[in-house]
Amino acid sequence: MPYEPGSTQCRGLIAAKENLLSAMNSLNKIENIEHLQLKLKEIYKEIDEIHEGRKILENET
């Protein structure tokens, strides 16, 4: 069941996470770019944490 975003911010964060996953999958077979994959994973994690915070904030209102 897909998550229904409650705000423009959540929709933007979800789109950003999906795009990062797509980029990571596209780069998966390219050699010698592990450092880029790690950076993308760090960015994904940070965006996910922001998204979780937004969901909590929106559920409180």
If you compute the radius of gyration of the chain from its CA atoms, what whole number of angstroms results? 14
Report the alpha-carbon distance of residue 41 to residue 38 in Å, rounded: 5
pTM flag (> 0.85) = no
Please give the pLDDT value at position 16: 97
Each residue of 14-54: pLDDT tens digit? Answer: 999 999 999 999 999 899 999 999 999 999 999 999 999 99
Report the alpha-carbon distance of residue 17 to residue 44 in Å, rounded: 6
Quick check: 60 pLDDT over 80?
no
Report the alpha-carbon distance of residue 57 to residue 54 in Å, rounded: 5
